[in-house]
């Protein structure tokens, strides 16, 4: 009897070349200038955008704006409860590092002179964590940012859209000697190599965070992972455009 391996091969191809099922819910909250809830697999992140008419001290009088981000895990977003930072009395260095990555990724595609002296704060709260929370936050954060920009134009706070191009992020890794896209938590903890990649719509890299968790990796493997990340980023950008009503 001949075994039908077509479904197995299809699933393997999808895992290597397709992101997890992804939905972005736009305007999830009524009060923020922009908001988006993203679901990537079982990971769920809520992002909001708040517009303020002030900038950090180092930008005062320059005519340039700023975009910053804050990231946090809700206490039961993981199997074991996370103690809130306000109760633990210590700074969550991981959250700070992820916040900075989100901010850098979003600032990388914005003309801050066109933003004027405004700051947009992107708050990213992980409701459920199953791998790729920082990349999901960037993807939803961009949608929240885009709608905040629409709000600013509609309220005559700025004259034109300062966003140069779309940006998205995805995780890639080597798991069980296979190159995989958009890792879940179970895959991430087994990964020999793990990368988080943020890229623009034109294929430019904003940031790569990568580690050889189980072993060092070669330049050729790095190139393969970045190429795979680019496949995932393009898929996410298509979803972002559809969410924002920009897809033809």
190, part of any domain: yes
The predicted-structure confidence for 159-196, as pLDDT tens digits, reads as follows: 999 999 999 999 999 999 899 999 999 999 999 999 99
Q: Would the pLDDT of 15 be above 70?
A: no
Residue 184 within any structural domain of the chain:
yes
Residue 34 has pLDDT above 80, yes or no: yes
pTM equals 0.92
The CATH number covering residue 114 comes to 3.30.230.70
Task: Report the side by side order of strands in the sheet with 191-200.
Answer: 178-181, 167-175, 191-200, 205-211
pLDDT over threshold 70, residue 2: no
Does residue 27 sit in helix, strand or coil? coil
Q: Within a domain: residue 119? A: yes
The domain of 96 spans 21-243
Between CA 174 and CA 177 the distance in angstroms is 6
Q: How confident is the model at residue 7 (pLDDT cuts 50, 70, 90)?
A: very low
Q: How far apart are CA 195 and CA 172, in angstroms?
A: 5
Give the count of domains, the chain.
Answer: 1
pLDDT in tens, 215-246: 999 999 999 999 999 999 999 999 999 999 99
Query: DSSP assignment of 203-240, as one string?
Result: S-EEEEEEE-SSS---HHHHHHHHHHHHHHHHHHHHHH
Per-residue pLDDT band for 6 (boundaries 50, 70, 90) equals: very low
Pairing state between β 66-73 and 119-128: parallel
Residue 2 in domain? no
Query: Does residue 4 belong to any structural domain of this protein?
Result: no
Q: Is 107 inside any structural domain? A: yes
Cβ burial of 170 (10 Å; 0-12, 13-18, 19+) is: buried
Identify whether 62 is part of a domain: yes
């Amino acid at each position: 009897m001949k075994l039908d391996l077509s479904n197995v091969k299809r699933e393997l191809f999808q895992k290597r070349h397709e992101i997890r099922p992804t939905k972005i819910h736009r305007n999830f909250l009524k009060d923020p200038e922009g908001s988006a809830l993203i679901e990537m697999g079982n990971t769920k992140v809520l992002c909001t955008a708040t517009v303020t008419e002030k900038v950090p001290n180092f930008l005062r009088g320059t005519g340039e704006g700023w975009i910053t981000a804050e990231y946090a895990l809700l206490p039961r977003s993981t199997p074991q409860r996370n103690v809130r930072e306000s109760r633990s009395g210590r700074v969550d260095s991981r959250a700070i590092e992820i916040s900075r990555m989100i901010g850098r990724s979003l600032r990388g595609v914005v003309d801050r002179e066109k933003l004027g002296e405004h700051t947009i704060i992107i708050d990213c709260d992980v409701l459920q964590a199953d791998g790729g929370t920082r990349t999901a936050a960037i993807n939803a954060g961009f949608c929240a940012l885009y709608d905040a920009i629409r709000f600013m134009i509609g309220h005559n706070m700025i004259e034109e859209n300062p966003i140069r191009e779309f940006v998205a992020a995805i995780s890639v890794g080597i798991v069980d000697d296979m190159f995989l896209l958009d890792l879940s938590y179970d895959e991430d903890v087994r990964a020999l190599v793990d990368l988080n990649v943020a890229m623009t719509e034109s294929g430019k890299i904003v940031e790569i965070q990568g580690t050889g968790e189980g072993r060092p990796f070669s330049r050729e493997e790095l190139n393969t992972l970045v190429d795979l990340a680019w496949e995932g980023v393009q898929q996410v950008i298509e979803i972002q455009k559809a969410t924002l009503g920009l897809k033809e």
